[in-house]
Copies of this chain bind each other. A is one copy, B any other.
Amino acid sequence: MTIPVYLRAVGTALPGSPVTNAMLAERFNMSTTWEQWVDTFIGTSTRYLSVDLATGEPRYSLADLGETAARRALDAAGTAPGDVDLMVMGTSSPDQLMPATVNVIADRLGINDVRAYQLQSGCTGAIQALDVARQMLLTGRHTTALVLGGDITAKHYDPTLDLNSLPPAQQVNGLLFGDGVGAVVLATEASRGAALIRHIHLRLTGLGRTPGQVVDWYGAAGDDSVVGIAVREEYKAIEESVPVMACDTLDQMLAHLDWKKIDLDYLLPPQLSGKMTARISERLDVPDAEEISCVEETGNTGNALPFLQLERLLPVAEPGDRAMVIAIESSKWIESGLALEMN
């Protein structure tokens, strides 16, 4: 018999106040035409930034946000830090390469003598982290896992940037992404308002495909020649492939679970940008499910996204409700999905 694994509670942390497109336009001397272009073609209205917009000074680290999100998740779950026997975190932007940020967060929470893992991951990282934690709960070795996912863009935020001089594709990078961390408590023991994890889908489909997203890092030796273009996106490939991959993921999940679209009460689709999410939701075509999205307000927060959506799901879902999370990572083209049934 398979051990049931429950998602007991969610907590999230977003830094500071929302940064509007108008604030970005003013800060980087962009026109109101540009601002309207962002509204129309990107569809992301606000995001939260871990740096001071004016100076680029860091105000929050990934560990800062992770600690807050974790405390909120633990509080909401009624779980003491000392009851956590496993931590798994997904991020593409660790505070440092060493120590792994998950271990710093453990220290701050007073969690010790546990296994703690940090995945180097992108938009499917939250689902990957949940999958690793769930598998370890399924073997019976652990009972209570704290799972985190998040990203901060601070190290790529250049306050001296001349946004006007960049081609549109690179201007977009500064608009799409936002900072944030989410956390959940997974446990083998049920609780009121918890969601049973029915299935996790993960599938690398990168064979022979050029990466859709590349993010570089530099070490002590530096590399001045490439600084400034550390983040590169293949928007055309993303626009073409991600909706198809999202549909494939939904189909595979439904087939595995023997569910039909009509069985879904909530759909939590990929969150690349407001416009992309709208397009994907239309393609997914699950009209009877309520869509839960956050990207218009938070921007694309990478590893945090599904947690931000789950935080909006749990308070409204009723016992027996079924929800499907779909997240697609364009880095090397990874599909992911999470199927939940409310307890």
Contacts and interface: CB of A to CB of B under 8 A. Distances in A.
Nearest to A213: B98
Given A229-B220, A231-B220, A214 B98 contact: yes
9 contacts: A92-B97, A97-B215, A106-B332, A107-B208, A110-B207, A115-B128, A154-B221, A155-B223, A222-B227
A221 B158 contact: yes
Contacts of A103: 204, 206, 331-332, 334
B231 A114 contact: no
A97 B211 CA distance: 12
A225 B213 CA distance: 28
A170 to B, nearest CB: 10
A96 interface: yes
**Most chain B CB within a 10 A radius of its CB, from A91, A117, A229:** A117
Contact of A118 (B96, B97, B121, B215): B121
B115 A94 contact: no
A150 B298 CA distance: 36
Nearest to A142: B135
B220 A96 contact: no
Nearest to A106: B204
A254 B216 CA distance: 43
Stoichiometry, copies per complex: 2
List the 6 shortest-distance A-B pairs measured between CB atoms, nearest first.
A155-B219, A103-B332, A99-B331, A220-B230, A99-B332, A112-B207
Q: Is the interface of A mostly helix, strand, loop or mixed?
A: loop
A155 B115 contact: no
A100 B122 CA distance: 9
A146 to B, nearest CB: 12
Nearest to A96: B216
A136 B134 CA distance: 10
Contacts of A24: none
Contacts of A202: 115
Given A100-B121, A100-B332, A155 B220 contact: yes
Contacts of A92: 97-98
Contacts of A203: 113-115
Contact of A139 (B121, B138, B228): B138
A228 B220 contact: yes
B132 A331 contact: no
A139 B138 CA distance: 7
A131 interface: yes
A93 to B, nearest CB: 7
A141 interface: yes
Interface in A188-215: 202-209, 211, 213-215
A224 B223 CA distance: 11
Given A113-B203, A114-B203, A218 B107 contact: no
A18 interface: no
